[in-house]
Amino acid sequence: MHEFAFDLFAGLPPEEKYHALVVDEGQDFREEWFPVLESMLQDADEGEFYIFADLYQSIFNTNSAFIRKLPMSTHRLTRNLRNTMSINRWLSSLLLQEAWFHHVDFSPPSGA
């Protein structure tokens, strides 16, 4: 299936491709899927291609050795933008702990 997708995107004219791609949960992607995604870029050398992954959160036990070979940023993501403070309080009450996400900044992102 991924060969079909690669051929499809590789054959598209540049104006139908993307300048940038962002992949979340990259730890669950298979190595052979990345060339397919890269074929979606207008220019693989000049385009932006970001993969966000947490190798400790792999749910499909995929071989993530190839991700370790990719260039990595040392920037640590410390803001949780998925959970609101009300969700945090509700979860905290269920776990009988106080603000178990206390180290995460729940304020809205700047410019939002």
45-104 per-position pLDDT tens digit:
888 888 888 877 777 777 778 878 888 777 777 776 676 777 777 777 766 554 444 555
* Dist. CA 9–CA 16, nearest whole Å: 9
Where do the domains of the chain lie? 2-77, 78-112
* Dist. CA 32–CA 52, nearest whole Å: 17
pTM: 0.58
* Side-chain half-sphere exposure of 4, counting CA atoms within 13 A: 1
